[in-house]
A and B are shown apart, each in its own frame.
Chain A
Amino acid sequence: MQYVVGVLLLICFFGLIVYALKGGNLMFGILIMAVLWTAIPLIGNQLVTDPAFIAANADVINVGFKDTITKVFQSSPENWGKVLVTFIFGAWFGRVMLDTGIASAIIRKTVELGGDRPGITAALLYIVTAAIFTSMFGAGAVVAIGIIVLPILLSLGIPKILALISYMLAIGAGFYINPVGFAQYQVYYLDAAGNNTVFYDMTYLKWGFIALGIQLVVAVLFTCVQLRGKKAVHAWAAQATMPEETKHVPGIALITPFVPVILTIAFNWPIILGFLMAAFFAMAVCGEMKTYKDTVRMFSKTFFDGVVDTAPLVGISALIPMFNAASALCVPYFQALLGNVVPSSTLIICIVFMVIAPLGLFRGPLTLAGAGAATLGILKSLGFSNTFLFPLMYAPTVTMNISCCITQSWIVWGLTYTNVDGRDFLKRTIPTGWIICAILAALTFVMFGNV
Chain B
Amino acid sequence: MENDFLKRFAQGFSNKPQDQRPSVEMVAISKMLQDLTEVPQEAFGAYAFSREPLRSRIPLEKRMELTRKAIDCGQSCAKKIREKYGNLSPRGIAGKLGLKLKFPQKPLHGGHVTFAQFVAPDEITVFMDCVDKAEELIREEALGSILKKLVVEEVLIAHELFHYLEEENEKTIFTRTEKLELWKIGKLKNTSRIVCLGEIAGMAFAKELAKLSFSPYVLDSFFVYLYDKQAGCYLYHEMMRLTKEWMGLETKE
Mark A residues whose CB is within 8 Å of B: 108, 111-117, 139-140, 142-144, 147, 150-152, 154-156, 160, 231-242, 246, 304, 307-312, 314-315, 409-410, 412-413, 415-419
* Overall SS of chain B's interface: mixed
Given A304-B1, A308-B8, A242 contacting B21 (CB threshold 8 A): yes
Q: How far is the CA of A150 from the CA of B166 in the complex (A)?
A: 24
Partner of A417, one of B20, B53, B110, B221: B110
Whether A155 and B231, one on each chain, are in contact in the complex, defined by CB atoms closer than 8 angstroms, is: no
Q: How far is the CA of A371 from the CA of B218 in the complex (A)?
A: 50
Whether A143 and B113, one on each chain, are in contact in the complex, defined by CB atoms closer than 8 angstroms, is: no
Q: How far is the CA of A310 from the CA of B15 in the complex (A)?
A: 9
Whether B113 and A240, one on each chain, are in contact in the complex, defined by CB atoms closer than 8 angstroms, is: yes
Whether B231 and A151, one on each chain, are in contact in the complex, defined by CB atoms closer than 8 angstroms, is: no
Whether A155 and B16, one on each chain, are in contact in the complex, defined by CB atoms closer than 8 angstroms, is: no
Whether A239 and B227, one on each chain, are in contact in the complex, defined by CB atoms closer than 8 angstroms, is: no
Of B31-39, B80-88, B156-164, the one contacting chain A is B156-164
Q: Does B169 contact A (CB under 8 A)?
A: no
- Pick the most buried of A152, A412, A418, A419: most chain B CB atoms within 10 A of its CB: A419
Q: How far is the CA of A356 from the CA of B232 in the complex (A)?
A: 46
28 A-B pairs within 8 Å (CB atoms) are namely A112-B54, A112-B56, A113-B190, A115-B54, A115-B182, A115-B193, A116-B192, A116-B193, A140-B20, A144-B20, A151-B112, A155-B195, A231-B121, A232-B167, A234-B117, A234-B160, A236-B115, A236-B202, A238-B115, A238-B224, A240-B110, A240-B111, A240-B228, A309-B12, A310-B12, A312-B15, A416-B111, A419-B109
A114 to chain B, nearest CB (A): 8
Q: Does B247 contact A (CB under 8 A)?
A: no
B63 to chain A, nearest CB (A): 14
* Overall SS of chain A's interface: helix
- Pick the most buried of B9, B110, B223: most chain A CB atoms within 10 A of its CB: B110
B110 contacts which chain A residues (CB < 8 A)?
240, 415-419
Question: In the complex, which residues 202-231 of chain B have their Cβ closer than 8 Å to any Cβ of chain A?
Answer: 202, 220-221, 223-224, 227-228, 231
Whether A236 and B8, one on each chain, are in contact in the complex, defined by CB atoms closer than 8 angstroms, is: no
Whether B18 and A140, one on each chain, are in contact in the complex, defined by CB atoms closer than 8 angstroms, is: yes
A115 contacts which chain B residues (CB < 8 A)?
54, 180, 182, 190-193
B237 to chain A, nearest CB (A): 10
Q: How far is the CA of A314 from the CA of B116 in the complex (A)?
A: 43
B192 contacts which chain A residues (CB < 8 A)?
114-117
Q: How far is the CA of A239 from the CA of B109 in the complex (A)?
A: 10
Whether A113 and B183, one on each chain, are in contact in the complex, defined by CB atoms closer than 8 angstroms, is: yes
Given A140-B20, A236-B156, A238-B235, A150 contacting B12 (CB threshold 8 A): no
Residue of chain B at shortest CB distance from A420: B110
A409 contacts which chain B residues (CB < 8 A)?
15-17
Q: How far is the CA of A115 from the CA of B54 in the complex (A)?
A: 8
Given A115-B190, A116-B195, A233 contacting B117 (CB threshold 8 A): yes
Query: 4 closest pairs, A vs B, by CB?
Result: A115-B192, A311-B12, A240-B231, A417-B111
